[in-house]
Structure 1
Amino acid sequence: MTRIIVAFPKAENGKNIKNVLVRNGYQVVCVCTNGAQVIQEANGLQDGIVVCTYKLSDMIYQELVECLPPGFDTIVISTKDQWVENGTPGIVGLAVPLKIHELLSTVEMVSYNLERKRRKRRQAPRKRTKEEQELVDRAKAILMERNQMTEDEAHRYLQKTSMDNGTSFTETAQMILGMLDQ
């Protein structure tokens, strides 16, 4: 579930937005009154949405967006003349007067996009470190030498063994090195 940080200079306005979001099933982490609080909260999270106004007590939304960790999208609520539509990724603008259904549909859209990014990040294959790759290469070399396998056959053997045992490729290479070095 997407976590939301609400940031308004007046705490009362922020609480009103929070209440609307919570009533509609969203998880609001906190309500902040300045950018420093938002940044502090955001650093404790992996990703999420910041709903804020054009200007907080210590910075404007553009400065806030620059300081947020990657993985955060921002919904800015302001007048049309304050809002700069420059197509910056991760920033969506909502004009005041704010309609609740516009806020909710925008949060839903941004939340859906974050969820897609999160899924994509999880499905991306993990890169092996240099040490892990050297370990795998040593295991392949031993298999090739002792069992007269080609590199492809050694790779497939490691792959099949790791899948059969439910272990990672690197753990399987370590296991083979441990068994064959004895």
Structure 2
Amino acid sequence: MSNVIVAFPKMENAKSIKNILVKSGYDVAAVCTTGAQTLQSANALEGGIVICSHHFIDMMYQELYEYLPPQFQMLLVASPAVCSEREIADIVCLSMPLKVHELVQTVEMMEYTIARKRKKMRAQPKQRSEAERNIILEAKSVLMSRNNLTEEEAHRYIQKRSMNNGTDMVETAQMILSLMDG
């Protein structure tokens, strides 16, 4: 579950929304009354959702959005006029007066989106440095010349050994190179 930060200039509004979320099973990481407090809380967390008003004593929601870490999404709670005039398409907006079920469903939808992004990021192959790629290529070429393997077979050999040993491919390639040198 994502971290939730509730930020409203009036503490009683922030606490009301926090209570609604807590009753619905969400963990509220912070309750803030200024943009600066919100940013400080967001920077201490790894990502999540900021539920906020359109203005604070120190900044507007657009500034807050600009300074938020990229792994945060924003849910703006504002008047219908502010929601229709918002310039940033990535900001989700709920109009006042706020309905409890709409708030909970919107947070649920945003959580789902965050979970999907995280899953996609984990599914992407790890980017290797040039030095790491060279070590793997060198190990492949040694296997190809000494064991008469094709490049594909050498790659599969390193992959299989890496999975069997519980090491990554670079470490396995280094072991193969050290064994072949000895």
Q: TM-score range by the shorter chain?
A: over 0.9
State the partner residue of 1:64.
64
Q: SS of 2:73's equivalent?
A: strand
- Map of 1:10-49 to 2, 5 A cutoff? 10-49=10-49
Deviation at 1:86, TM superposition (A): 4.5
The ranges of structure 1 where at least 4 consecutive aligned residues each deviate by more than 4 angstroms after the TM superposition are: none
Deviation at 1:87, TM superposition (A): 6.1
Listed one character per residue, the Cα deviations across residues 129-148 of structure 1 (whole Å, up to 9, x for unaligned) are 11110110111121122222
Tell me how far apart the structure 1 counterparts of residues 4 and 29 of structure 2 sit (CA, whole Å): 6
Aligned length: 181
Q: Structure 2 length normalisation: TM-score? A: 0.94
Gaps of 5+ in 1: none
Q: Structure 1 length normalisation: TM-score? A: 0.94
- Map of 1:26-175 to 2, 5 A cutoff? 26-83=26-83, 84-86=85-87, 88-89=89-90, 91-175=91-175
Tell me how far apart the structure 1 counterparts of residues 66 and 99 of structure 2 sit (CA, whole Å): 27
Tell me how far apart the structure 2 counterparts of residues 87 and 52 of structure 1 sit (CA, whole Å): 15
Deviation at 1:97, TM superposition (A): 1.0
Tell me how far apart the structure 2 counterparts of residues 165 and 11 of structure 1 sit (CA, whole Å): 55
Amino-acid identity (%): 51
Gaps of 5+ in 2: none
